[in-house]
A and B are shown apart, each in its own frame.
Chain A
Amino acid sequence: DVKVTQSSRYLVKRTGEKVFLECVQDMDHENMFWYRQDPGLGLRLIYFSYDVKMKEKGDIPEGYSVSREKKERFSLILESASTNQTSMYLCASSFLVSGYGYTFGSGTRLTVV
């Protein structure tokens, strides 16, 4: 069964900590995405990557960075976690061809205290 795996389902971190959210896909997808989901705001794109070592800013990149050293792995990094980064984080991947939808991970609910 093909899938996108996010390393943690729940995470609690302290303000100021450096936080790593990991995402791995086994579908040989070129594109990978990190979204943030908040009630009433839907899903907002943080960063995406269309190839190894390539990255593009999404709509809300401030306070985040990403890393894609291998095709199957896309990491989201919170350089210095803040309480306003408490949220649900969703990773997704897709083929390069735009007609396909995404395959999503199960999400990581991050709480920053």
Chain B
Amino acid sequence: AQTVTQSQPEMSVQEAETVTLSCTYDTSESDYYLFWYKQPPSRQMILVIRQEAYKQQNATENRFSVNFQKAAKSFSLKISDSQLGDAAMYFCAYRSGGGATNKLIFGTGTLLAVQP
């Protein structure tokens, strides 16, 4: 069975600085997708970024980028120029590429605080 591990329960970053959140996963599959979700205090889960395993190029979305290391099964999220609005719980998630009903498997989350 696939597992997702986030080893940093809490992180803190100064406003305008860069922070990296770690995520590792375990799978025997070659076709899969990885996601980072943000959950602010409002509780609405928001998709931040997605990565397709067959793509070597790291995904980027404005200030958010990933470092996808397929051999190491690592999928870290880098937030550049951190803003107060980035404070939230961040979840890493895995979804198998095969089959139509495959579900998202989540890590336990990293709570990010942004200091002014």
Contact of A104 among B44, B108, B109 (CB under 8 A): B44
CB distance from B9 to the nearest CB of A (A): 8
Q: List 5 A-B contacts (CB under 8 A).
A: A42-B91, A92-B104, A96-B100, A101-B95, A102-B47
Contact of B97 among A31, A45, A92, A98 (CB under 8 A): A98
Contact of B37 among A31, A56, A88, A101 (CB under 8 A): A101
Known: A98-B33, A98-B95, A101-B37. A41 touches B103 (CB 8 A): no
Measured between beta carbons, the chain A residues less than 8 angstroms from B104 are 33, 43, 45, 92, 101-102
Contact of A106 among B33, B44, B93, B108 (CB under 8 A): B44
Most chain A Cβ neighbours within 10 Å, of B42, B91, B104, B107? B104
B residues 1-50 touching A (CB-CB < 8 Å): 6, 9, 33, 35, 37, 42-45, 47, 50
CB distance from B42 to the nearest CB of A (A): 7
| A97 interface residue (CB < 8 Å to B) | yes
Chain B residues close to A by CB (< 8 Å): 6, 9, 33, 35, 37, 42-45, 47, 50, 52, 91, 93, 95-104, 106-109
Known: A58-B103, A98-B97, A98-B99. A42 touches B37 (CB 8 A): no
Known: A40-B108, A106-B42. A99 touches B33 (CB 8 A): yes
**Residues 64-79 of chain A, each 1 if its beta carbon lies under 8 Å from chain B, else 0:** 0000000000000000
**Residues 25-59 of chain A, each 1 if its beta carbon lies under 8 Å from chain B, else 0:** 00000110101000011110100101000001010
Residue of B nearest to A30 (CB): B100
Please measure, in the bound complex, the distance between the C-alpha atom of A39 and the C-alpha atom of B32, giving whole angstroms.
27
Known: A50-B101, A98-B100. A42 touches B108 (CB 8 A): yes
Please measure, in the bound complex, the distance between the C-alpha atom of A106 and the C-alpha atom of B33, giving whole angstroms.
24
Measured between beta carbons, the chain A residues less than 8 angstroms from B6 are 42
Say yes or no: A41 contacts B108, CB within 8 Å. yes
Measured between beta carbons, the chain A residues less than 8 angstroms from B106 are 35, 42-43
